[in-house]
Amino acid sequence: MVKVKDFIQKFEQFAPRYLAEPGDPTGMQLGSIEQPVHRVLVTLDVRPEVVEEAIAQKVDFIFAHHPVVFHPAKNLVTDDPQNAMYAKLLSHQIAVYAAHTNLDNANGGMNDWLAQQLRLQHVQILRPSYQRKIKKLATYVPEANAAALRQALAAAGAGQLGDYSAASFSHPGTGRFTPAAGAHPFIGQVGQAEAVAEVKVEVVFSEELTDKVLAALLAAHPYEEPAYDLLTLDNTGGEQFGLGRIGEPERTMTIRQFAEFTNQAFGLQGLRLITHHPDELVKRVAVIGGDGGKFYPYVLQQQANVFVTGDVYYHTAHDMLAANLSAIDPGHHVESIVKAKAVPLFQQWAQAAGWNDVTFHASKINTDPFTFIH
């Protein structure tokens, strides 16, 4: 039986919570992580109409991009519509998890989806903020068991160096120990000093694999209590994460043409164009989903001349124009792309994990609060 915690564990391998921006209420929002999961609804926002949709579809878990509890509740009086929504979710045993800026910063997440929708080429991270650390494991194993241990560590992902896999280092030596009362030694006798021909095996791996690599070590090592060293290295080379993406347009377009293309790409009723030079050619495009206007200095540093983001404030728009930066504001709701992108991704995970009794569904509710009147 799949539980909420099983899904969270899998998802946070893809978008760890430590990637979230400071103060962002990412993670479990309502319900219990021990709750069984059968039907999952994927949505941008959790609003009353989405909750009604979830109840009608007998959903037991909602995955949302925007946190439903963005500001702490001051009370639980259900005369308040927000509190009433919380109560309805809890009374129908619908758990809610929100993946907000951790999904924005994840590789293959929200901002990559937006860049793909805009058909940007040669895409890079706009504002790098985190690089995964490299770990090094050293352990000591009898010579006869060294090959099997190396294979188990490699199968867990250790020893990946660029285009090389199963990389390791081994050095022979002598292990000495005396099993005490209560021990069940693989080699030697209780109370007798022992000297064993051993091999020191060293491997490196990315930090997110730590639990998996240690589990492989303990499962494959013949000793009852294997000795090992686990170090964090200063080496660079770990996977890099960050906010926003920057790339080049698929074809030559003016800024006005690119704005029209953006409007079509997201199926919008309209958008806001901020520019003094609509006929200038687009050179580099930066994109940040949601409310990203305050990050425009990073866009200037990366020498983009077009910035696509939502919720651009009046005075920020003036600052962009003064800096000779054009911006396209397609609105915050373009992040609803999460429904089209996350559902097939989750279905792939479920198939690989054997979660045969779990189904994923995209919300059909349009939660954009704005209507354009022409």
276 in a domain, yes or no? yes
Question: Is the pLDDT confidence value at 303 over 80?
Answer: yes
What pLDDT does 5 receive?
97
Q: Name the amino acid, one letter, at 249.
A: P
- Residue ending a domain, among 191, 210, 233, is 233
Q: Are residues 22 and 56 in the same domain?
A: yes
Nearest in space to 37 (alpha carbons), one of 1, 63, 9 = 1
Buried-exposed string 62-101: b where 16+ CB fall within 10 A, e elsewhere: bbbbbbbeeeeeeeeeeeeeeeebbebbeeeebbbbbbbb
Average pLDDT value for residue range 31-48? 98
Backbone phi, psi, residue 89, to 5°: -60, -45
Mean pLDDT of the chain: 96
Asked if residue 274 and residue 202 are part of one domain, the reply reads no
For 151-189, the pLDDT digits (tens) are 999 999 999 988 899 999 999 999 999 999 999 999 999
Listed in order, strand segments (DSSP E) in 80-215 are 95-98, 121-131, 134-142, 169-177, 194-206
Beta bridge partners of 288: 309
Q: Do 14 and 140 belong together in one domain? A: no
pLDDT-based confidence at residue 72 (cuts at 50, 70, 90): confident
pLDDT at 374: 80
pLDDT at 52 over 80: yes
Number of domains comprising the chain: 3
The answer to the question of residue 170 being in a domain is yes
Average pLDDT in the 321-333 region?
A: 98
Say if CB 177 and CB 188 are below 8 A apart. yes
pLDDT at 237 over 80: no
Q: Which residue's structure tokens are 């429904």?
A: 339
**Residue 200: CATH number of its domain:** 3.30.70.120
| Residues 124, 245 within the same domain | yes
Q: Supply the pTM of this predicted model.
A: 0.85
- Residue at 68 is within a domain: yes
CA torsion angle for 322, 323, 326, 330 (degrees, to 10)?
-80
Q: Is there a contact between 228 and 139 (Cβ–Cβ < 8 Å)?
A: yes
pLDDT confidence of residue 54? 98
Which CATH number belongs to the domain containing residue 264 in this structure? 3.40.1390.30
C-alpha–C-alpha distance, residues 29 and 15, integer Å: 16
Is residue 71's pLDDT more than 90? Answer: no
Domain encompassing residue 78: 4-105+336-362
Instruction: Give the single-character DSSP code of 3.
Output: B
Listed residues 200, 233, 266: the one ending a domain? 233
Least confident of 66-75, 77-86, 260-269: 66-75
73 pLDDT band, cuts 50/70/90, is confident
Looking at the structure, tell me whether residues 153 and 76 fall in a common domain: no
Q: How far apart are CA 42 and CA 289, in angstroms?
A: 17
Q: Which of 185, 209, 233 is the last residue of a domain?
A: 233
In a domain, 93, yes or no: yes
CA 221 to chain centre: 32
